[in-house]
Amino acid sequence: MSEKTKFIFITGGVVSSLGKGLASASLASVLQSRGFKVRMRKLDPYLNVDPGTMSPYQHGEVYVTDDGAETDLDLGHYERFSGVSCHKTDSITTGKIYQRVIDKERHGDYLGATIQVIPHVTNEIKDFILSDITDEDFVLCEIGGTVGDIEGQPYLEAIRQVAYDLGRERAMFIHVTLLPYIPAAGELKTKPTQHSVKKLQEYGIQPDMLLCRSQCEIPQNEKKKIALFCNIREENVIAALDVDNIYQVPIAYSHEGMDKQVCKHFGIECEGEPDLSKWERIVDIIRHPEGEVKIAVVGKYMQLLEAYKSIHEALVHGGIANKYKVKIKWVDSELLEKSEPDIYLSDVSAILVPGGFGQRGTDGKIAAIKYARENDIPFLGICYGMQMAVIETMQHVAGVKNAYTTELRSNCEPVVGLMTEWEKDGDKEKRSKDGDLGGTMRLGAYPCVLAKDSLVRKIYGTDKISERHRHRYEVNLAYEKQLNDAGMVVTGKSPDGRLPEIVEIPANKWFIGVQFHPELKSRPFDPHPLFVSFVKAAIEKQQEAK
Ligand code: GLN
């Protein structure tokens, strides 16, 4: 680690869901605009080893990195805003920390010591914070949860110690809080923020900056009051007002002087304003699109759309590239099991079926795919969505009524089956039916070769791609011939030709299923080609219908 690397710790107070992840990602991107090299990390105090086994209703989407870590969806914000790919070393949970401590204890590494939260657990957290850093100017570490949570205490102690070890000139504490507005009093209230800062001070942490979420302007005298009571410089009380789209956030923070104050804290000279033109361009397209196109996402976690965070963002990016607003119609796939699909899908110009697990809503997804195929509506199937597209063609075109996935039915025609063996970096990965569920899927980036003359080859403009995976089952290539006869072609395979990664129906204008998750690699400045092309196909479909 270079001596110049500085650490910014972001904590949250008052309530959860303040958008700390977005705040951290936005600060990182503004610092980048000033020419600094950044790295972002998430420390999650919950006891799961990773969010991989949690229900999307608990946690939202599981974000997968290139190196195969299953992580918090905030890492998606980090990658989208900074363009810097995260690694396994950028995501930690209490479960992982304890696993390491216990492994060391069993191995005898502690030489007979009594193992305690301080110093053993906190040291492990500190090692994580300081690991795998080269020449970054700033490492931003976001602590999950809210100050005061029991699980979070070792993390606060660890970051206090890091700041103590490195010196305050290499560490900064930013606390994100909420100023609730009480309509009856017509006032923003600062008391919860004062309490939250007091709590932090109890742990020995004096925040250097407050990022105050608020639905309206914060009067200067209120900022002054917060500064005085919380022992913070007035210019470091930064207002974070609600904005109409997330890509506005870096611009808003910078206007509030956040990046300047961060530089000042570290004694870094920073003249003038950062170049935020790329954000301004995006915000301008979002505010003044040339048109609007409606696309259905047919999934099953409709009560918590965070479960489809990256898909949502990738569709927005595809829209930006086409200068269009993408209006997403979220359709609960279970509804399509009870009524005709056209009730829900006749007003959309494209259909996307995302990833998923388990029986609930599956037959509704198959119904949506059938509707897209028969009506030549642009279709993108992702992971489970691709597997279901294969099953749909097998059932309804090839006439194999019992075609299904062994994930859900053992006595079916196994068109989609359990993957028991595959290659990763030259080694064989093996799995069995009775193995652990956590961390054992096919995870992370794998290469894929695209077939000549395929639509995907044209879209990507290359014949070899790398995309991120997260699945346990795969399409069974034993049925390839039958699929071809039914009009579906496998146009992407692993380099050894053993794993099918992409299917297409060439007779349709735009019908693609992918076993991987392209949404994870889409960035607002570098939109994913599949999403750009998919949105374009939707716009064409809409124009055709007029
Ligand atoms: N349930 C499927 C599998 O494990 C698909 C997973 C997904 O969509 N991410 O293969």
| Joined tokens for residue 279 | 């954000």
The pLDDT assigned to 3 comes to 83
Ligand 1 centroid – CA 387 distance (Å): 8
> Is residue 514 within 6 Å of ligand 1 at its C-beta?
no
Query: Which atom number of ligand 1 is nearest to the Cα of residue 382?
Result: 8
Which residues lie closer than 8 Å to 28 by C-beta, 6 or more apart?
38, 40, 78, 81, 82, 84, 138, 140
Q: Is 472 in the pocket of ligand 1 (CB under 6 A)?
A: yes
472 C-alpha vs ligand 1 centroid, how far in Å? 6
356 lines ligand 1 (CB under 6 A): yes
407 lines ligand 1 (CB under 6 A): yes
Biggest distance spanned by C-alpha atoms of the chain:
77
pLDDT tens per residue, range 226-257: 999 999 999 999 999 989 899 999 999 999 99
> How far is ligand 1, taken at its centre, from the CA of residue 348, in Å?
25
Task: Output the CA 224–ligand 1 centroid distance in Å.
Answer: 52
- Please write the tens of the pLDDT for every residue from 329-340: 999 999 999 999
Report the run of H or E that residue 173 belongs to, with start and end: strand 171-178
Q: Atom 6 in ligand 1: which residue has the minimum CA distance? A: 471
Ligand 1 pocket member 44 (CB < 6 A): no
Best residue among 388, 473, 519, 520 to mutate for probing ligand 1, ranked by most atoms within 8 Å of CB: 473
Higher local confidence (pLDDT), 429 or 337:
337
Q: Would the pLDDT of 105 be above 90?
A: yes
The string of pLDDT tens digits covering residues 279-297 is 999 999 999 999 999 999 9
Q: What is the mean pLDDT of residues 540-544?
A: 94
Burial code (b: 16+ CB inside 10 Å, e: under 16) for 164-195 equals: eebeeeebbbbbbbbbbeeeeeeebebeebee
Name the closest-CA residue to atom 1, ligand 1.
357
Check residue 50 and give its pLDDT: 86
Would you name the residues annotated as active-site residues? 383, 517, 519
For 184-235, write each residue's pLDDT tens digit: 988 899 999 999 999 999 999 999 999 999 999 999 999 999 999 999 999 9
- Any ligand 1 atom below 6 A from CB of 471: yes
pLDDT at 430: 77
Q: Please indicate whether residue 470, judged by its CB atom, sits closer than 6 Å to ligand 1.
A: yes
pLDDT recorded at residue 428: 76
The 10s digit of each residue's pLDDT in 376-424 is 999 999 999 999 999 999 999 999 999 999 999 989 999 999 877 767 7
Name the residue at shortest CA distance from atom 8 of ligand 1.
355
The pLDDT assigned to 363 comes to: 95
CA distance 443 to 453: 29
Residues 439-498: tens digit of each pLDDT? 778 899 999 999 999 999 999 999 999 999 999 999 999 999 999 999 999 999 999 999
| pLDDT, tens only, 106-137 | 999 998 899 999 999 999 999 999 999 999 99
Say yes or no to pLDDT of 150 above 90: yes
Helix/strand/coil percentages in the chain, nearest 5? 40, 25, 35
Task: Give the mean model confidence (pLDDT) for residues 6-20.
Answer: 92
Q: Tens of pLDDT along 24-45? A: 999 999 999 999 999 999 999 9
The closest residue, in CA terms, to atom 7 on ligand 1 is 355
Mutate to test the pocket of ligand 1, among 365, 472, 515 (most ligand atoms within 8 A of CB): 472
